[in-house]
Amino acid sequence: MKKIMLATDFSERSDRALRRATLLARQFGASLSVVHVVDDDQPSRIVDSERNAASDLLRELRNTLQSVDGITCDTRVILADAFVGIARAVEEEEPDLLVIGPHRRQALRDVFVGTTAERTIRSVACPVLMVNGFPVGPYRHVMLATDLSAGSERAARTLVALGLIGGADVSFLHVYDAPATRLVMSHTVPKDDREAYLDDQRKEAAKTLAQFVKKTGVRSPRQIARFGLHTLADEILRSAKDEAADLVVLGTEGRTSVAKFFLGSVAEAVLRMADRDVLAVPPASA
């Protein structure tokens, strides 16, 4: 990882992202680019005022990062809609990683996810790290949630390429389904037969997961095949909590090969509910 971009709105939420971006930049000797977007759909005097204030704050931030943390840092203010400005900066600078803060957890959280975080992740070609936890050091346990698709394989390879595994424990999670349990007459199946069926499904899921992990080339003694009783996002986050994972990794392109569909149904929900960091990896064609 040679170049990291941080998108900040100067909120306390963004402070977590700044801390994580700083730790990563120091860990990998990477340069850091910090961008702030000013909404240009306002009266010009307000735009000018916000741009000047943001420029001053970014100048102070750059000086602190360079003098205290020894990090090479560039800053810029962009006039645009939030996600458009971030996407433009990513396209122009081509960072290895984009770091953003967590979404608002109040009444406007759906609006925020829909207009900023989700739309940004859909629009950029680089991995996006949403920082929800309070950074204290390198990641200790990285969990990759996989649907066994090419998108998930890409996420695993991207994780390796970024170097985020490092000395961390790595686990793979696959949430599997047992279709027969959802049939109308499934309640009439004898208990022993039902348990045998579920055991077969579990063994098959574990086998396919092991094959997937082998393809990625990532060494992971912890491979979790979990029967999905709840939504996929809920199962992913429950597993992350059970395993004490501080980073959850997932691809934004699933088996449907439609990035928007997968993001809307799984990744968006994970991003919305997560209480720990999430790395979202876009498809190669993004």
Find all residues with CB under 8 Å of 181, minimum gap 6, and list them.
194, 197, 198
Are 161 and 84 found together in one domain? no
Domain identity same for 165 and 124: no
Positive or negative torsion for Cα 239, 244, 249, 252: positive
**What pLDDT is recorded for position 11?**
85
167 and 103 co-located in one domain: no
CATH number, domain at 35?
3.40.50.620
Q: Are residues 169 and 275 in the same domain?
A: yes
| pLDDT for position 257 | 41
d(CA 263, CA 7): 20
Both 102 and 195 in a single domain?
no
User: Among 130, 158, 191, where does a domain finish?
Assistant: 130
- Domain termination site, one of 103, 130, 157: 130
In a domain, 38, yes or no: yes
pLDDT computed for residue 102 by the predictor:
79
Same domain, 176 and 226: yes
Residue 286 lies in a domain: no
Q: Residue 151 belongs to what domain range? A: 141-281
- For residue 274, give the nearest of 111, 101, 153, 138 by alpha carbon: 101
Do the beta carbons of residue 180 and residue 193 sit within 8 Å?
no
Q: What is residue 179's predicted lDDT score, i.e. its pLDDT?
A: 63
Q: What is the pLDDT of residue 285?
A: 58
Q: Are residues 164 and 71 in the same domain?
A: no
Which of the 8 DSSP states describes residue 180?
G
Per-residue pLDDT of the chain in tens (286 residues, 90 and over written 9): 999 999 998 988 889 999 999 999 999 999 999 999 999 999 999 999 999 999 999 999 999 999 998 998 999 999 998 888 999 999 999 999 999 987 655 444 443 444 466 778 878 889 999 999 999 899 999 999 999 988 899 999 999 999 998 889 999 999 988 765 655 445 666 777 778 888 888 899 999 999 999 999 888 889 999 988 888 899 999 999 999 999 999 988 754 443 443 444 687 788 888 999 999 998 875 4
Q: Which residue in this structure is represented by tokens 């092991």? A: 210
Which residues have CB under 8 Å from 137's CB, separation 6+? 23
Shared-domain flag, residues 175 and 242: yes
Whether 180 and 241 map to the same domain: the answer is yes
- pLDDT at position 38 is 94
SS (H, E, C) 99-130: EECCCCCCCCHHHHHHHHHHHHHHHCCCCEEE
Together in a domain, 222 and 97: no
Same domain, 126 and 157: no
Please give the distance of CA 141 from its chain centroid, rounded to a whole number: 15
Q: Which residues pair with 223 in a beta bridge?
A: 172
d(CA 40, CA 45): 10
Q: How many domains does the chain have?
A: 2
